[in-house]
Structure 1
Amino acid sequence: KNWSDAQTYCRERFSDLAAILNAANGTEARQAAGTSWVWIGLFNGTWKWSQDENQLSPGSSSSMFTVWSFNEPQDRKCTLLSKTGFWFAKDCGDLNEFLCYDGSSDSDVLVKQKMSWFDAQAYCRETHTDLTTIRDFTKNYRMTSLLPDSTFNFQTFSMTPSAVAWIGLHRSDWVWSDGSSASFWPWAAQATTEQTDCVMMDSSSGSWFQQSCSDSFSFLCSEDVVPAATRALKIRLEAGSADLNDAAVQESILQQLREKMEEQEVTEEVKLSWRIQPDGKVFHRQQEETAPPACKAKPCDSV
């Protein structure tokens, strides 16, 4: 399957694509994979709009609408819209004005406060809806119209630089499909410099390779395992005519206990069973204790 189909399969039947967070995880993954090349859950988040952040899967940068300026984007991670209509990748910590989208009025607004990209994102989410998303030329033109025009500076006899503002497009780091952050990197040496967004593991060496997400490989899924706990309870039953060591009677008692648990809304998975004693029985009749004989004729001697 390709990476996205493998992710869907793992999420439907298990927990997610496998996350390998340390060397011990890597050893377990190699043992599970055998001798094959397999998809794992690591992917490059690539360029994504702030409003689309919760869609945790690799997107296709080639199909995304962009208006990058010449030689852009560089290795910076946040996007500025220029009055010229072109986009520039810049350090997210730079301070700039920004554009917010307001879903209640279906409009965008220029905020004339200079903030970092992440502070601007937080402001837009608190005050409006999110940083502005631009998916076509029409909206790109409308957003540039919100930016002020350049003016002539008579002191320097030059035009002021084109106005810019943060928009919602940003590039995330490598991340695991289940949302875990990535810090363990057993990358293989690759001759190609082509940027690809998904990761395949060679189980024979444990090395990771960047691979096109559309390629087809086997894949590793992960599953949350809840450790089992065993508890022994002693039950005392009043004597009656039923044979408590009869299998049908024992099953009837277990069924009554299960019904009681349902009434008490016990939601955890609990398996009830009887413990067989060394003599092959489950229940034993408790002998009644008899009181010692009372002293007669004269007071009992005390020791």
Structure 2
Amino acid sequence: MTGQPDNAGSSEYCTAVSFGDSGSWTDENCNTVLSFICYSASFHQYHFVNESKTWTEAQRYCRENYTDLATIDNMEEMNSLINTVNGSYNGSAWIGLYDDVNSWRWSLENNNFYQEGERDFRNWYHEPNNNVGNELCVYMDHNGNWYDSSCENYYTFVCYDGRENASQKYVVVYEGRTWTGAQSYCREKYTDLASVSNETERQQIMSIVHYYYYYYYGYFYGYNMWIGLHRNRLWSDQSSSSFTYWLPYTPWDVSQPDNGANVQGQQGAQHCTAVSLKYFGQWTDESCFANLPFFCYSDEYGMFV
């Protein structure tokens, strides 16, 4: 429409589409009551492929014929994926989520903080083993050894204080928190959860905590302390979706993921994710070498009034 925008009355700060003028735009008063258009940047169209393949074979098929193995962002998409089967299948099928046990990273991500190779410093003690399928965070014991653990466990923790006026580089907080709770505390009070990027830094932390023990039933125990090392499961298309729909504990089945802890011969070997149509699409971790049908997705774009 000609003459637009004109900010009539110095009060037109919002934009509308005029369908009477071939979709031309006009500026309008933001308090005007009008119909409106919502936009969905993208949504996934799912495709069920009823051919048994390993997870890697399924990934290759989806990338060649669609976009990728299925990524799921929310419960609405989860229901859409289930409806793709339309009751024709009642078993398990691959989606794109997988567990990369080598994807560890530090909470403090500033590249200037690390010298070459320091991001990769580790001091594992017969770890990591992801023992029950959900050990995505790392604690250090009183001997300085590292273990992977569920991020929901409550441990004391070590903060890093990188401020110019800091009186000490590391601060041990003797308060039990989850890993996320510890991270939030350190970022609010100091800089971040501690990165341990070389042996010198490990020894510096140990010099602070070495003499802190607690007494329990006749024995002395050292504190377990969260550090900043952690990881997430990954999607095949490298999506950042944090949505999960794991199968909870039932009288008939163990809670998921369990990394094969309850399956003879598969303990520590279940790194890929399947939906169980038997359990309304809830997720289980499985051996990536199992042969299962699978879900692919393709992207659709559009607007909805």
Which TM bucket (shorter chain)? 0.3 to 0.5
Higher strand content, 1 or 2: 2
For normalisation by structure 1, the TM-score amounts to: 0.45
For normalisation by structure 2, the TM-score amounts to: 0.45
